[in-house]
Amino acid sequence: MCGITGYIGYRESVPVLINQLRRLEYRGYDSAGVALLQDGGVRIIRSVGKIGALEKLLEQQQLSSNIGIGHTRWATHGPPSDANAHPHADCSQQVAVVHNGIIENYLELREMLLDEGHEFSSETDTEVLPHLIEHHYEGDLEQAVRAAVEHVRGSFALAVISKDAPDRLVLARSQSPLIIGLGEGETFVASDIPALVSYTRDIIILEDGDMATVDSFGARISRFDGQPVERPVTHVSWDTSAAEKSGYDHFMLKEIHEQPEAVRNTIRGRVDGDRVLLKELDGASDAIRSAARVQIVACGTAYHAGYAAKPLIEELLRVPVSVDLASEFRYGDPIVGPDTVVVVVSQSGETADSLAALRESKARGATTIGVVNVVGSSIARESDHVLYTWAGPEICVASTKAYLTQLTALNLLALHMAQVRGVEEKTRRLARELAKLPDLVAEVLELEPQIAKLARELADREHFFFLGRGRDYAVALEGALKLKEITYLHAEAYAAGELKHGPLALITHEVPVVCLVTQEQIREKMTSNIKEVKARGGYCIALVRPEDESTPLVVDAVVRLPATDDRLMPSLAAVPLQLLAYHVANALGREIDQPRNLAKSVTVE
């Protein structure tokens, strides 16, 4: 979603802000802008389009300032345009604001401000904020911001500068991430850690209801009611090269190839021989033992990881497992309570719908476990227990290594819960096989030349279908999502047994159909489904186990995967589908790392 940056210190602020904004491009955006304090006033420069367009405008200006704020916008209220781009100012151009989130009562506030004579120049919800601050301003910027946010309903992370306060920025956070970076004689602000690590490794993560007044020497933090609070300083250990492409053409390809190490990091210290060790979940043991059901909630790719993990949890625990989209779960009347373990899966830990589902589950008395990548994120902090995936930063909007590490973490969780419930004999072999996954994923990556060649041959097709049964169907869902996300081609996944219930009508001559055949117990059933597709002229590509000799006889192309336990095959089968999507998109010349209309971290509904 939107990206916020801020700087105050001894450097020229524009190069810092632009560099920070570039590190936040993965969040997705359609316009960008900066606001500076210069010559006793507020200067705002903004542009629709990419950051490069903004840079060209900045090069035409005579700018010199040691304080500023920046923004990349992902449109929610009003289309992408120069007028709707951030930052926004009040009537007197005294205050400039950048905002990430959604102001739910902005129409009500806008009408009130219009009645008072304020003039608006955009269609955004954000623009009510500088006018509200202007309305409350009596010489103290912090107090004006504090008074303004009391009127606001919704989610927001704000950074504010004023010509009357040239030595500070004022920040506020409610349900949208905001981080302060501490330097020597300089302070940084950003929506996410990658925008800070080039400058400092010492950060403060603001919590919901926090405000901060930031100057060159640090930050003074308080609650919305004015009560001072202390927030811990966290040292970030990420290598700065983790957010660079390292020679790959795109972040997506880099992150696909990082998956062996990412999965290794997820497993590291958590598997000892034939046992899983999740010490971070020791406090959840009683809830796990007494659980009558498990509920998984997530969005997008994280939902597919949860769906893929469901069969293993049910098999080992013999309790029902539900997997729900967080955006649907939160508006229903979910059957969760003290006898339920709710697992919330999110890469960023800030996904708005998943966070709301977590809070709803806690309110109903459920024990919550967050499976997240970002340390200190909202879901990590608010869950009763947290299982980090340790994927490292993922820059490409389309998720790859986050998915694989989520699935690995969920498999670890399944084995851990089984051990806690006293059914350890079911888990020993699987724990040993799980420890081998990083090397097996590396083997799959060696198939890339074959998959790239296949992708180039299929890049002119307009429709793709993905078929599977059981665990393979779960992977098919993720394969179809990856393809449509970055190629803009039509792709659908179906449970293969449902073909005759409608989807078979869509199969025509030479339509590519990716068939996942990694589960031995349903191989013969899949063969029948493949023959149905072939009879209609479909072009079938099969992902098979190494020992499968029969499936290759009835398809047009075969991708042979390494061998592992059937229950872990989804972790291997997902990788060729990621590569297929990447190479089709590359052949089509798509903007792979930042596909149109999408954002990395969905922090609004």
Mean pLDDT score across all residues of the chain: 92
pLDDT (average), residues 277-288? 95
pLDDT (average), residues 348-366? 94
Is residue 130 scored above 60 in pLDDT?
yes
**What per-residue string of b and e applies to 52-84 under the rule 16 or more CB within 10 Å gives b?**
eebbeebeeeebebbbbbbbbbbbbebeebebb
Closest C-alpha to 436, from 416, 394, 408, 470:
408
CATH architecture of 443-605: 3-Layer(aba) Sandwich (3.40)
pLDDT in tens, 442-476: 999 999 999 999 999 999 999 999 999 999 999 99
Kindly report the CATH number that applies to the domain delimited by 245-435. 3.40.50.10490
Q: Contact, 10 vs 185, CB < 8 A? A: yes
pLDDT (average), residues 10-26? 92
pLDDT in tens, 72-105: 987 777 778 899 999 999 999 999 999 998 888 8
Helix, strand, or coil (residue 559): strand
Cβ contacts of residue 115 below 8 Å, gap of 6+? none
Active site residues: 2, 600
Phi and psi angles of residue 390, each rounded to the nearest 5 degrees, phi first: 55, 40
- Domain ranges (residues) in the chain: 3-242, 245-435, 443-605
What tokens does 211 get?
A: 């405000």
Same fold, 3-242 and 443-605: no
Banded pLDDT at 245 (limits 50, 70, 90): low
- What's the confidence (pLDDT) of residue 239? 63
In degrees, to the nearest 5, what angle opens at C-alpha 78 toward C-alphas 54 and 205? 65
pLDDT (average), residues 523-529? 90
What tokens does 535 get?
A: 């009879």
pLDDT (average), residues 326-339? 92
Q: How far apart are CA 316 and CA 314, in angstroms?
A: 6
Banded pLDDT at 483 (limits 50, 70, 90): very high
- What's the confidence (pLDDT) of residue 241? 57
Is residue 604 scored above 70 in pLDDT?
no
pTM of the full structure: 0.72
Q: Contact, 183 vs 200, CB < 8 A? A: yes
How much of the chain, in percent, has pLDDT values that exceed 70? 97
pLDDT in tens, 154-211: 889 999 999 999 999 999 999 888 999 999 999 999 998 889 998 999 999 999 999 9
pLDDT (average), residues 583-596? 94
pLDDT in tens, 535-579: 888 899 999 999 999 999 999 999 999 999 999 999 999 999 999
Determine the residue type at 194.
P
* Half-sphere exposure (Cβ direction) of 307: Cα atoms closer than 13 Å: 20
Banded pLDDT at 28 (limits 50, 70, 90): low
- What's the confidence (pLDDT) of residue 35? 96
pLDDT (average), residues 307-322? 97
Banded pLDDT at 421 (limits 50, 70, 90): very high
Question: What are the beta bridge partners of residue 343?
Answer: 296, 369
Q: How far apart are CA 18 and CA 40, in angstroms?
A: 22
First to last CA, the chain: 11
Q: Which fold has domain 3-242?
A: Glutamine Phosphoribosylpyrophosphate, subunit 1, domain 1 (3.60.20)
* Half-sphere exposure (Cβ direction) of 66: Cα atoms closer than 13 Å: 13
